[in-house]
C-alpha cells in the first residue's frame, strides 16, 4: 500500500490520491472525445441541461411538499381521506388531510377544473 506523507490529513483519509484519481479520470474522458466542439457541447450544454432539469425537479418537489403541510405549524398533514367521485360534477374528487396537532383540515382538489385547495381552521377543542 502506497502512503503519501505530504497529502495525508489528520482524518487519515488520503485526499491527494483521490484528487489524482479524479484528474486521471477527467483526462481519460477528454482523450476519448476527439472533437473540440463535441467536448464543449457535452461539457457545457450537457451539464447545463442536467443542472436545469435537476433544479426544476427540486422546485416541483418543494412545491408539492409545501402543499401537504400545515400552514401554522409546518408539520406534514396526515390521515388522507378521499371524498367525492370522478363522475360527479357537483361533488368532485378531493382529498382531505388533517393536521396532527389539530390546527385545521386541508381539502385538496384532485381535478384541475375543481375549486382550489381549501384550508379549514379547527377550533381549540380539536387540540
Instruction: Return the biggest CA–CA distance within the chain.
Output: 76
Q: Is 75 helix (H, G, I), strand (E, B) or coil?
A: coil
Residue window 53-92: x/- pattern of binding to Zn ion, with contact defined by CB under 5 A: -----------------x-xx-------------------
Give least dist CB 100 to Zn ion, A.
7
Give least dist CB 28 to Zn ion, A.
54
Query: C-alpha distances in angstroms, 112 versus 105, 108, 109, 115?
Result: 20, 11, 7, 8
- Of all residues in this chain, which one has the CB nearest to Zn ion in the complex? 70
Q: Is 2 helix (H, G, I), strand (E, B) or coil?
A: coil
Catalog residues that contact Zn ion under the rule CB under 5 A.
70, 72-73, 99, 101, 103
Amino acid at each position: 500500500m502506497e502512503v503519501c506523507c505530504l497529502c495525508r490529513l489528520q482524518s487519515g483519509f488520503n485526499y491527494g490520491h483521490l484528487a489524482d484519481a479524479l484528474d486521471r479520470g477527467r483526462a481519460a474522458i477528454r482523450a476519448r472525445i476527439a472533437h473540440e466542439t463535441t467536448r464543449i457541447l457535452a461539457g457545457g450544454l450537457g451539464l447545463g441541461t442536467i443542472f436545469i432539469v435537476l433544479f426544476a425537479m427540486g422546485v416541483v418537489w418543494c412545491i408539492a411538499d409545501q402543499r401537504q403541510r400545515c400552514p401554522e405549524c409546518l408539520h406534514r398533514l396526515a390521515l388522507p381521506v378521499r371524498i367525492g367521485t370522478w363522475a360527479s360534477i357537483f361533488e368532485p374528487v378531493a382529498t382531505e388531510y388533517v393536521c396532527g396537532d389539530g390546527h385545521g383540515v386541508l381539502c385538496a382538489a384532485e381535478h384541475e377544473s375543481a375549486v382550489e385547495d381549501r384550508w379549514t381552521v379547527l377550533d381549540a377543542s380539536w387540540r
